[in-house]
Amino acid sequence: MKYRYNQRNQTGFTIIELMIATVIFSLVLMVCLAGIMQITKMYYRTVTQNKTREVARSIIDELGESLRYSSAAYNSGSPVIGPQIELSNDNYIGYFCVGQKRYSYAIDRQVSTKLDAERKQIKHALWVDTSQCDGPADLNSANSEPSANGADLVPENMRLFKLSISNVDSSNSVYRIEVGVAYGDDDLLFPKPEENPTELTCEGAINASEFCATVILSETVQKRL
């Protein structure tokens, strides 16, 4: 006995239906991919911001402890006022001393072991050591460290764009410390408007905001010795 199949009862997808399904599936994948990318950017942005804040906090703690427990007066040495935005200006290195500690710092210079002449970079942005208060350490020393008994307070790819220590009262016993730390390359950081040119911001870093962060912290300390 021979069986015959009725082709009219067979069902399937047409080419148009397959094309529509493919387009819908592609749109769903694109939405999911965009969501994953946004979550990843938010994660790295948070990590970068937290790391930058930790560095600023550690600098505040180091300076606060030195001022609080040192019986010697704060010596401003050769301070640099505000960030030097222009690369042609070489007056971006200053120093100050608290007791036996000397702090040598570079304003608005990204820490990098491989210096690029076209970028505002330096090997060390904030170096603390025990030395005479007669000048800053060589922050671009050919040696791996400017001095044998020091430490760097600003890690790779970060920069110090604000450092201020001021007397709050006439007795020189209360000080206000303000520290600004930024993470990111030169093209991701922007000076704020003319009314406040001493700060950097990541407001213009739209496409790479996860690789840029700025933090400003301040603290008031009182001498105990």
Mean pLDDT of the chain: 81
Give the separation between CA 151 and CA 127, rounded to whole angstroms: 6
The pLDDT of residue 93 is 82
For 51-61, the pLDDT digits (tens) are 999 999 999 99
What is the token pair recorded at 109? 């210079």
Residue 34 has pLDDT above 50, yes or no: yes
Give the separation between CA 158 and CA 142, rounded to whole angstroms: 20
For 96-135, the pLDDT digits (tens) are 888 888 999 988 889 998 888 788 899 999 999 998 888 8
Residue 2 has pLDDT above 50, yes or no: yes
The pLDDT of residue 86 is 38
Flag the least confident range among 1-15, 45-59, 101-115, 191-205.
Answer: 1-15
175 forms beta bridges with 167, 221
CB atoms within 10 A of CB 138: 16
pLDDT: is 182 or 91 the higher one? 182
Flag the least confident range among 36-40, 152-156, 191-195.
Answer: 191-195
Which runs of E-coded beta strand occur in the chain?
Answer: 74-78, 93-98, 101-106, 110-111, 121-122, 126-130, 151-152, 158-167, 174-183, 190-191, 200-201, 213-222
How far is the CA of 44 from the CAs of 57, 115, 124, 157, 211, in angstroms? 20, 25, 25, 15, 8
Across 193-200, average pLDDT: 60
Quote the pTM value: 0.79
Give the separation between CA 29 and CA 74, rounded to whole angstroms: 61
The pLDDT of residue 82 is 42
Across 21-44, average pLDDT: 86
219 forms beta bridges with 177
Q: Is there a contact between 218 and 199 (Cβ–Cβ < 8 Å)? A: no
The CA dihedral of 204, 208, 213, 214, to the nearest 10 degrees, is -20
